[in-house]
Structure 1
Amino acid sequence: MYFSKIEVEEQGYIEIRVTNRDNTLTPKDVDINEVKDFISDIETFLYPNRKEKRNRPHISYDLEEGSAKHKFFLPITAVILFNGLTSEIKNRSNLDFLDYKRQSIIDKFQKRAFREGYKIEFNNSLSDSTSLVIDESTNYEMIAPTYFESEFYLYGEIYQEGGKNPNLHISTGKYGNVTVSATKEQIMNGEKKTYKPYGVKVRGKKNLDDGTLTDLVLLQFIQYKPIFNKSLLDKVIDKASVNLSKIANVDTWLNDIKAEGI
């Protein structure tokens, strides 16, 4: 009888050590919301996008004595990544090489250090020396774009249109009341759309911090008729089922193709 050898990746840890101005901080002083923030921030720093988060390895957490040590136990490859990124920040004294999400995490640590009077040390099992220190005087500037430009579909009630500089105002469930620039011809063409449910295809900017939309320009109207047709739905499901049955993980596939919606 033969048994295959299961290879388990070497494990290590990363540690975020936090001290306050008078060195009185202990684990019992750390609120659960702060613990939650540290866990979320480290996960995003290591795995910035949705796909990476979904496929990340097991990570365990402990809060230890020594001021307050937030300790994360994970595969050594993640420790190497963490050590490399934090060491490079220290060596360069800037965030230029990081993507937006990682820059925003470091910026959060800076703001937390300034607000609470913290000294935050980044350590790991690969080295006895601290790879990065953030305190009240740290001031790494974020240089990544704070928005991206794309096309979006908005659905809701158009409650105002026209004006000296032509535009329309649409009330949406996700973005609230949104203003969209348009031409006179676009607004005047067809039936009056005020106080009717409509969809609009627009081009504009989406803020990476809070998800707000700005500088929107109308591309086209999409008439929105939310009428439920069970017979039509059943036909569409039957037609799609043939190909959906060939997809190993439908939920993952749907997440990967999601587009900007309401």
Structure 2
Amino acid sequence: MEEQGYIEIRVDNINNSLTPKDIDINEIKNVISDIETFLYPSREEKKLRPQISYDIESGSAKHKFYLPISAVILFNGLTTEINKRKSLDFLDYKRQEVIDKFQKKAIKEGYTIEFNNSLSKESSLIIDINTNYDMIVPQFYESEFYLYGEIYQEGGKSPNIHISTTKFGNLTISATKEQILDGEKKTYKPYGVKVKGKKNLADGKFNDLRLVEFINYRPIFDKTLLDKIIGRASKNLNKISNLDLWIEGLKTEGI
């Protein structure tokens, strides 16, 4: 078993009178969620993260998280680097957002927030009413995306298609007349589309989507092929000690 350590978020007010009893459960929930995101920003990392235990202690209000030492090293390294650079520019968007939330809370409530851990006797980072780190990651990024769903409308004066997806809801995608008229009528049929556009880094929503091409999506059930694949896989599945845990690690959100 990996060596364990802890990280600590120590919160105090201007009067140095804060105690755990003064902390609302919503604030506790937010601290827990923010620390999890700071350590494991992506959905995949959250699904595979190790166990984290939590406690709140007196001496102001100390939010303590007990977890593997590798996570403590990561936390110590990132917070030390923030303190050294006096900048968030090297962090990904979600980690920048977590630090920004802490500094907004410090300014609003008059808090001093110390980031401590079991590797060092000194605080690796302190945020208070004078802290002013700017978030500099762009709000959007441009790329190509593949989306799947049912096309429920196409055409219009300004040509576009409307597609209903499981993950992102209903989306509007601009297209040309030639793209829409090419081939069979696609309304009320399942299709994939390759698009160009912008995706919001904060909430994952799309903007300015433009159609590149249609991808005909017609899944065909082949029981014979499925039985063969199951037969081949069963030999290796029997070697996995905890099958439920292994399958859980493979799960992803559908589009």
Q: Please state which band the TM-score falls in when normalised by the shorter chain.
A: 0.7 to 0.9
Amino acid at match of 1:210: D
Which residue is equivalent to 2:109? 116
Give the counterpart of 1:107 among 100, 125, 137: 100
1:240 counterpart (229, 236, 239): 229
Secondary structure of 1:142 counterpart: coil
Alpha-carbon distance, 1:188 to partner = 1.8
Which residue pairs with 2:9 in the alignment?
16
- Distance (whole Å) between structure 1 residues aligned to residue 79 and residue 59 of structure 2: 21
Aligned partner of 2:36 in structure 1 is 43
State whether structure 2 residue 66 is matched by structure 1 residue 73. yes
Following the alignment from structure 1 to structure 2, what is the Cα–Cα distance between the partners of residues 221 and 10?
51
Q: 1:162, 1:184 within 8 Å by CA — same for their partners in 2?
A: no
2:193 is matched with: 201
Identical pairs, percent: 59
Shift of 1:53: 3.6
Instruction: Report matched runs for 1:78-157 at 5 Å.
Output: 78-148=71-141, 149-157=143-151
1:251 aligned onto 2:240: no
Deviation of the 1:192 alpha carbon? 4.0
* 1:206 match: secondary structure: strand
Preserved CA contact (<8 Å) 1:18 1:67: yes
Residue pair 1:161, 1:169 contacting (<8 A) in 2 also? no
- Structure 2 runs not aligned, ≥5 long: none
Give the counterpart letter for 1:200 in structure 2: G
- Measure how far apart 1:117 and its partner are: 3.3
| Counterparts in 2 of 1:240 and 1:110: CA distance versus 1, 3 Å | farther
TM-score scaled by length of structure 2: 0.81
The whole-number CA distance in structure 2 between the counterparts of 1:238 and 1:130 is 58
Q: Which SS does the other structure have where 1:187 is aligned?
A: helix
**Aligned counterparts, 1:158-197, within 5 A:** 158-164=152-158, 166-194=159-187, 196-197=188-189
Partner AA of 1:155 in structure 2: G
- Pairwise CA RMSD of aligned residues? 2.8
DSSP 3-state at the match of 2:171: strand
Deviations 1:196-251 (A, max 9, x none): 2342313233222111112212133345668xx8xx35334213214433355662
Answer yes or no: is the 8 Å Cα contact 2:140–2:201 preserved in 1: yes
CA distance in 1, matches of 2:202, 2:66: 29
CA distance 1:9–1:153, shift in 2 (3 Å) = closer
Aligned equivalents of 1:17, 1:60: Cα separation in 2: 16
- What amino acid sits opposite 1:42 in the alignment? I
C-alpha distance 145-235 of structure 1, shift in aligned 2 (>3 A): farther
* Cα distance change of structure 1 residues 50 and 198 upon mapping to structure 2, 3 Å threshold: closer
Question: Could you tell me how far apart the structure 2 residues matched to 1:145 and 1:107 are?
Answer: 15
